[in-house]
A and B are shown apart, each in its own frame.
Chain A
Amino acid sequence: MPKDTGIGASPKRREDVRFLTGKGRYTDDINLMGQAHVVFLRSDVAHGRITSIDTSAAEAMEGVIRVFTGKDFAEVGGIPCGWQITSIDGSVMQEPKHPVLADGKVRHVGDPIAAVVAETRDQAKDACEAIEVDIESLPAVIDMKAAVKPDAPKVHDDLTSNLCYDWGFVQENKDAVDRAISEAAHVTTLELVNNRLIANPMEPRVAVGDYTSHDDHSTLYTTSQNPHVIRLLMGAFVLGIPEHKLRVVAPDVGGGFGTKIFHYAEEAFCTFAAKALERPVKWTSSRSEAFMSDAHGRDHVTKIELALDAEHNFTALRTETYANMGAYLSTFAPSVPTWLHGTLMAGNYKTPLIYVNVKAVFTNTVPVDAYRGAGRPEATFQLERVVDKAARELGVDPVELRRKNFITEFPYATPVAVEYDTGDYNATMDKLLELIDRDGFPARRAESEARGKLRGLGINSYIEACGIAPSHLVGQLGARAGLYESATVRVNATGGLVVMTGSHSHGQGHETSFPQVVADMIGIPEDQIEIVHGDTANTPMGMGTYGSRSLAVGGSAIYRATEKIIAKAKKIAAHLMEASDQDIELKDGRFTVAGTDKSVAWGDVTLAAYVPHNYPLEEIEPGLEETAFYDPNNFTYPSGAYACEVEVDPETGKVEVLAFAAADDFGNVVNPMIVEGQVHGGLAQGIGQALLENCAYDADGQLLSASYMDYAMPRAHDFPMFTVDSSCQTPCTHNPLGVKGCGEAGAIGSPPSVVNAVIDALASGGHEVGHIDMPLTPPRVWHAMHGGTPNQGAAQPAAHSEETTHDRSVAGAATNV
């Protein structure tokens, strides 16, 4: 029987009522007394030198308060980067300054040049158009491989080249990997593009800066997944505001998917301008503006080689990836293609030798950073595609090839520096084959063929690393932050309690799921527990929500703080019952003395803590409030197996997803309803990447996919009902809840199964196609079927080379065939 309350139950979400009745309080719903509005003038060229800016006409317009340009920010810092990568040769990455407003040069379409603050947004918009800017256009670098050529125009004049870093991992393995590949019985090679995406949370970014001169306090309301991180980065590195003078509030946030992790120039601007003008300053992004100012995701070009011996054991793996950084380093950008990608290249397999090379490149495009999965989808896609391609080349069952190479003993130390604590990859694969009814597939294929359609089934495994991360480890790897999480549990005199968490909820339902944990531990109803998050003024220093870390790290902090509460409460109970606290048991909200009928209620103890008339004052202090900081000692490793069944129309190349099944191992599950919902959403984003979404630039650096008219967001009719299952559970061994994290799995695991399915469908029609780059739009699929020499994964154009530049997400030229 499903549980009604506590861990394992699926109570209705308490957040929902406010969202369903229009009472959510998102940042754009906040309007402060005396508020002014800012609109940014953004570059419409990808690369150029600003020769003059004349703001006089704009300043004279009705309602205009002040026009800011780059020179107003000469005394403040640049937008900082939070992770430093070291190259193979021991040099640290090249790290250009990222000014709040353009300083002499513009480096991507959308780079902010000036900012108009006016009484109304419309007045600011009008005045923006009256600013006269002369820009000497410079050649733009868009294609990554062209950008690293010696004669390429430089995005940053003060850097030696457009190469940010050249990372090798594990460098000591390189010679052995090269040797193993040269001696292998079979080597499968695949060149592919992991297409550039735009996260597109439905709520555009908003920032409201406020300043009070009587106490010299600044407040920023912002659409952030991690308000403390913004406070630290903006206060310490950009504006020089000490943390005790700066409050950052992230109220209801309408989705994040990674792109609301980062510290953005608009946040710093609004905070700075509010102080300069002594008026609240508000910025609301339009969707068009979001396309050219939110950090983008993915954009890797990779060559991967998998070596196998005669028995089809994987013997070595080698990859070379070009990773686009865009024009500036966004907050965590350098970590995504390296530590969040290279460390996952073992996947679910016992490949003994692995070498990963990543060249990070500056281009005249919007900065690229973490998007749902962040590095792990890129790793999973190339690995699960090359394994599938190997199975085709060798004529073996792709599932059996995977099973033969699965890691089956845990803990398992990979050759790429991580140790998987638990997992059972055969169990999720078995479950998956049942969910997708693989045995029934031949009959379904025959039925499609009878209708003139090609049916394909694509299957893959995945593993990811979540719950980022042990601080001592990430410090060694270049992180400029610790990655613990915090919680304060404040018990009130009458027994209810408030949990103040450093995690942030922007759709994940923490207000519902976190109380389930605490309610289980104490044995009180969930409605006596309130979750507070998203405000640095009333939560302990926290690192926020990303990387599927909230329950694994934030939940563990709540668990630890609640343990401290219970330990103290037992001491109070022991005093009240004149017993030893060692003998006190807590169950269903009552403290009992073991082996007796003596008991006191939870509420009696909490009252005693605040009305300490009969209280062990010589032993403990009054009050019942505890804080814990939880620093994990490993990542968590969710894993699973996914399957996609498609039908391809050979006349048009159109792909229809008929079924999608996901068998995940998330360890213990606190709220199955929320977990299922997270998987559904991840699947939609992963299938969207595989079939629909593409961020396209032309050769001059114009962003072609800059609205929902051009960027194909998945709609309801693009998907079937999903079949998801998380009953295979190997609990995490190193966090107190045994949980692994579920937020990104769907987006990580699903793209390869879609592509594998389409390749399988085409093969059934006699079209042996090595690979098709995402998104698998009808033209791309049709050309793959009819484009002459089938591609066996050989050289392909880079994501932004001439061949693909005019390709848009739903139409566009054929490629990669």
Chain B
Amino acid sequence: MTKVTMTVNGKSRSAEAEGRTLLVDWLREGLRLTGTHVGCDTTQCGACIVHLNGEPVKACSVLAQEVDGAEVTTIEGVAGADGTLSTVQQAFQDYHGLQCGFCTPGMVMAATSLLKENPRPSEAEVRHYLEGNICRCTGYHNIVKAVMAASGQDVPAVAAE
């Protein structure tokens, strides 16, 4: 076991990690930040996406010890300190972009990165970018709408099409 320290959601946090401990397990078990989810074991589903030094990564494919000292943002660090939802989070609620909520943290983290890289993506670009995030509930329809809306583009309101 080795003590690993990272800046997580703006605060210095430490917890033990074995050599094989994955970043996602270090966050969930070590720091009890359980908002980051594990939906698969083959780096396919994207439920575990966090921002590592500003980049979206699947936390199931990173060893905690390897990123000692890194800066990490998890879903718990996205909303404002007063609880105000981020633009992406708010759009997911406004456009019913989530149902069971399990894939949602990864979706929000991925969508946030997309809009940083590409502030006004087309529908096709949104769908392509979210290729690494699996949702089983929504058929992606309202997720795509939410991301488009979060980018400031006109999107029909829910239940009004």
Contact = CB atoms under 8 A, between A and B. Distances in A.
A22 B35 contact: yes
A255 interface: yes
A507 B161 contact: no
Given A257-B136, A716-B143, A721-B144, A202 B44 contact: no
A787 interface: no
A494 interface: no
A21 B79 contact: yes
Given A22-B76, A254-B102, A717 B136 contact: no
Given A17-B85, A680-B141, A507 B37 contact: no
A601 to B, nearest CB: 32
Given A708-B40, A708-B44, A22 B33 contact: yes
Nearest to A203: B102
Contacts of B34: 22, 25-26, 28-29
A23 interface: yes
Contact of B96 (A122, A677, A707, A709): A677
B18 A715 contact: no
A509 B104 CA distance: 15
A683 interface: yes
A202 B161 contact: no
Interface stretch (A416-424, A668-676, A802-810): A668-676
B42 interface: yes
A676 B108 contact: no
B105 interface: yes
Nearest to B141: A680
Nearest to A24: B101
A13 B146 CA distance: 14
Interface string A288-314: 100000000000000000000000000
A19 interface: yes
Interface in B75-101: 75-76, 78-79, 83, 85, 89, 92-94, 96, 98-101
Nearest to A15: B101
B128 interface: yes
B49 interface: no
Given A13-B93, A21-B35, A22-B33, A202 B41 contact: no
A707 B43 CA distance: 10
A230 interface: no
Contacts of A674: 96
A143 B98 CA distance: 39
A776 interface: no
B13 interface: no
B127 A507 contact: no
Interface in A172-213: 200-204
A87 B130 CA distance: 49
Given A20-B89, A20-B108, A21-B89, A26 B137 contact: no
Interface in B125-161: 126-128, 130-131, 133-144, 158-161
Contacts of B128: 716-717
Given A21-B89, A707-B41, A254 B101 contact: yes
Contacts of A509: 99
B64 interface: no
Given A21-B89, A202-B134, A680 B42 contact: no
Nearest to A18: B101
B69 interface: no
Contacts of A284: 38
Contacts of B142: 677, 680
B42 A707 contact: yes
Contacts of A709: 42, 44
B65 interface: no
A668 to B, nearest CB: 15
A716 B133 contact: yes
Contacts of B36: 22
A684 B144 CA distance: 14
A713 interface: yes
A681 interface: yes
Interface string A256-284: 01000000000000000000000000001
A508 interface: yes
Q: Most chain-A CB neighbours within 10 Å: which of B44, B85, B137?
A: B137
A31 B34 CA distance: 11
A365 interface: no
A709 B100 CA distance: 23
A16 B159 CA distance: 17
Nearest to B34: A29
Top 8 A-B residue pairs of the complex, sorted by shortest distance between their CB atoms = A22-B35, A19-B101, A254-B102, A684-B139, A507-B100, A708-B44, A507-B99, A680-B139
Interface of B: 18, 20, 28-29, 32-42, 44-45, 47, 74-76, 78-79, 83, 85, 89, 92-94, 96, 98-105, 108, 123-124, 126-128, 130-131, 133-144, 158-161
15 contacts: A18-B101, A19-B101, A21-B35, A202-B37, A202-B47, A202-B100, A202-B137, A257-B136, A677-B138, A680-B138, A681-B99, A708-B42, A713-B136, A715-B140, A722-B139
Given A20-B85, A202-B134, A255-B99, 10 more contacts: A16-B93, A19-B104, A21-B85, A26-B34, A122-B20, A287-B40, A707-B40, A716-B128, A716-B131, A716-B143
